[in-house]
Amino acid sequence: MATLGKRPRLNGLVNRIKLVGIELEGGWDIVPSGESVGRDGSVKFPQEQIRGTFEEELARMGNRLQSRRIEPPVTVQMPVPAVKGEIVSKPLPVDKIAGWVTHCYPKYVNETCGLHVHMSFHHRINYSRLMCPEFTPFIVAKVKAFAMEEQLPKGHPQWPRVNRKDHPFCAHLYLGEGQVKMTKKDYNSRGKPYSRYTFVNYCEEQHHTLEVRGLSMYDEPKQAIRAIMAVVSGTNEFLSKLRHRERPERATVKPRPESRQEFRSYLRAA
């Protein structure tokens, strides 16, 4: 087995993550080759949407609307995808993530769509180390830092997921002790001590993975790939810091004083 020092490094840190699974939610006109779209009841694409004020619509569509005398609010017919739901990847090495996401990324996304990242680990001890309340705010902060670095607009659906602690799809709660015992998905688990609708979901019994549910979908696959890598790198960073704090200590065991036992027979000689 490879030693720790020989394991591949990611952003300067030892990569402790073995495989990554991706769930992409959205809509497609054509299902990507080699994939299938599963049902997801939370993904919704209404046929008509109010797109804001007249001025906002002009800014979006240009001066072509000026001669049409459209009065606010502007109601526009939105395209509806032929297929909606989610595509789930097979377990992927980190270097295969970008190719799969690019191939499978949906054409249609909105605020009802999420991007979930599953991770497995080279050593089970790393899963145990992540089962602590401190990991949730740490990875929330990493995703928030990513959103700031990307300069996501104010109305982007990523912001509620990192700013709203009671978000219905990814609440900022640690429920690992209950989640890790669940053997199947419970879609009515909100408010229960094992609810799967948290920013971090510990689904060891179901998938042998840890799931980060706090990413939204993005307009372009390249941005989604950067978001996934922010989660992967952030998880490695947390594990590296935790391992640094848990330095092994040498224990000295004092030897017992030597003792001699002598057995005597109490049977009288015949």
- The span from the first CA to the last CA of the chain, in angstroms, equals 66
Distance CA 188, CA 212 (A): 19
SS3 content of the chain, % helix, strand, coil (to 5): 35, 20, 45
Q: Are 205 and 182 in contact (CB under 8 A)?
A: yes
The first and second tokens of residue 92, run together, are: 């992927």
Q: Are 52 and 122 in contact (CB under 8 A)?
A: no
Half-sphere exposure of 57 (CA within 13 A, CB side): 18
Q: pLDDT by residue for the chain (270 residues), tens digit each?
A: 444 456 788 888 899 999 999 999 999 999 999 999 999 888 999 864 444 444 555 565 655 555 555 555 555 556 789 999 999 999 999 999 999 999 999 999 999 999 999 999 999 999 999 999 999 999 999 999 999 999 999 999 999 999 999 999 999 999 999 999 999 889 889 999 999 999 999 999 899 999 999 999 999 999 999 999 999 999 999 999 886 555 555 555 566 666 665 656 555 554
The first and second tokens of residue 173, run together, are: 């709660």
Tens of pLDDT, residues 221-235: 999 999 999 999 999
Q: Are 261 and 34 in contact (CB under 8 A)?
A: no
Query: Directed axis angle between helix 135-149 and helix 221-245, to 10°?
Result: 140
Q: Domain boundaries in the chain?
A: 4-45+81-244, 46-79
**How far lies 110's CA from each of 68, 80, 126, in Å?**
28, 12, 34
Burial of 202: CB neighbours in 10 Å, binned 0-12, 13-18, 19+: buried
